[in-house]
């Protein structure tokens, strides 16, 4: 009887651990919009590791789509900000902002530049 309880407990722990770790594999056929949706849903549930994984996949699979790349880079930096990883977050926001200092800056969605500057200002206020 003790063995059965121990086995059941172990299975529950493994199940719970797997639920929070995110998907093991993500279909190659999933669209960029679906990836963003899943990343946002994970982030809304504070499943940052899972959310980060979805954003990383966006960067891997859609590296030439400026809208999705900027969105993913912004969201990754913002998740790190929410996790209070301020130095990492600031560095990532600055990397994103560097994209806006190129000749192709006019092709980039401007909202992420504005939002990144707002969060960097908050980070700088925390440093004071």
> For the chain, how many structural domains are there in total?
1
Report d(CA 64, CA 69) in Å as an integer: 8
11 inside domain:
no
8 inside domain:
no
Q: Give 16-39 pLDDT, tens digit per residue.
A: 444 445 555 788 889 999 999 999
Q: Give 66-124 pLDDT, tens digit per residue.
A: 999 999 999 999 999 999 999 999 999 999 999 999 998 999 999 999 999 999 999 99
104 inside domain:
yes
CATH code of the domain in which 76 resides: 1.25.40.10
Counting Cβ atoms within 10 Å, is residue 107 exposed (0-12), middle (13-18) or buried (19+)?
exposed
The domain in which residue 50 lies consists of 29-127
70 inside domain:
yes
């Amino acid at each position: 009887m003790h063995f059965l309880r121990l086995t059941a407990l172990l299975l529950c722990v493994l199940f719970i651990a797997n639920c929070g770790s995110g998907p093991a594999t993500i279909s190659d056929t999933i669209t960029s919009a679906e990836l963003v949706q899943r990343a946002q849903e994970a982030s809304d549930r504070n499943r940052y590791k899972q959310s980060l994984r979805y954003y990383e996949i966006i960067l891997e699979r859609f590296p030439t789509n400026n809208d999705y790349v900027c969105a993913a880079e912004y969201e990754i930096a913002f998740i790190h900000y929410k996790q209070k990883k301020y130095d990492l977050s600031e560095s990532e926001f600055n990397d994103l902002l560097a994209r806006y200092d190129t000749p192709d800056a006019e092709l980039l969605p401007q909202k992420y530049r504005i939002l990144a500057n707002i969060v960097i200002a908050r980070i700088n206020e925390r440093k004071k």
